[in-house]
């Protein structure tokens, strides 16, 4: 399993090596990255699909933990009938959302916003530069278990592109 922390730290339950400690101090990884990837590593002994999966980043939000995987690894982390994420959710007492970091931003956006459907993505030109606006039907307001601010923070970190989310 590939994770934001090294294999030695992944297998350890308490200590971090100096390299991973530096990543933590620099803000490249968080305590949540460490905690969730260690849980998944422990589960990989029971679920072989996790052994060849890659965890890119983990975000802890108010109501949900978002696990970002490499493209094609989302289903491996979810597990058959969601069994793996159910176990992780019970350990951390939060719901879990798994999204793949895709080559195309739209795939990642759809994964984060599910079950909502993206109606359009528009380029907005402003004096300080351009930004992208994602439009979702307002019937989905409050149904994606992420606030607008949380979504915008996560999608910018994953894609390196600032997006604004609008329910219309």
Last residue of a domain, one of 71, 101, 131: 101
Q: 109-138: per-residue pLDDT in tens?
A: 998 998 898 999 998 888 888 889 999 999
Confidence at 150, pLDDT banded by 50, 70, 90: very high
Same domain, 76 and 122: no
Same domain, 95 and 140: no
Mean pLDDT of 5-33: 91
Same domain, 67 and 6: yes
Q: Give me the pLDDT at residue 50, please.
A: 92
Of 126-130, 137-141, 150-154, 155-159, the poorest mean pLDDT is in 126-130
For residue 145, the Cα-to-chain-centroid distance in whole angstroms is 13
Residue ranges in the chain assigned as alpha helix (H):
7-11, 18-26, 31-43, 74-78, 83-92, 105-113, 148-159
Q: Give me the pLDDT at residue 161, please.
A: 86
H/E element, 164: strand 163-167
Q: Give me the pLDDT at residue 29, please.
A: 93
DSSP codes, 100-137: EE-SSHHHHHHHHHTTS-EEEEEEEEETTEEEEEEEE-
Q: Give me the pLDDT at residue 134, please.
A: 94
Show the domain range for 129: 105-168
Mean pLDDT of 94-120: 91
Q: Give me the pLDDT at residue 143, please.
A: 85
Q: Give me the pLDDT at residue 43, please.
A: 94
Same domain, 63 and 18: yes
Same domain, 11 and 76: yes
Q: 25-62: per-residue pLDDT in tens?
A: 999 999 999 999 999 999 999 999 899 999 999 999 99
Q: Give me the pLDDT at residue 129, please.
A: 80
């Amino acid at each position: 399993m590939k994770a934001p922390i090294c294999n030695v730290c992944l297998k350890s339950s308490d200590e971090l090596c100096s390299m991973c400690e530096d990543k933590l101090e620099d803000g490249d990884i968080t305590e949540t990255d460490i905690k969730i990837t260690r849980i998944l590593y422990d589960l990989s002994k029971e679920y072989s699909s996790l052994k060849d999966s890659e965890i890119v980043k983990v975000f802890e939000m108010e109501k949900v933990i978002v696990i970002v995987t490499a493209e094609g690894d989302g289903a491996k982390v979810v597990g058959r009938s969601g069994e793996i994420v159910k176990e992780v959710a019970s350990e951390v007492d939060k719901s879990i959302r798994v999204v793949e970091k895709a080559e195309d931003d739209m795939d990642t956006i759809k994964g984060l916003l599910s079950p909502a459907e993206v109606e359009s993505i528009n380029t907005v030109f402003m004096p300080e530069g351009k930004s992208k606006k994602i439009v979702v039907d307002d019937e989905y307001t409050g149904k994606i278990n992420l606030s607008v601010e949380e979504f915008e923070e996560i999608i910018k970190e994953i894609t390196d592109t600032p997006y604004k989310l609008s329910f219309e």
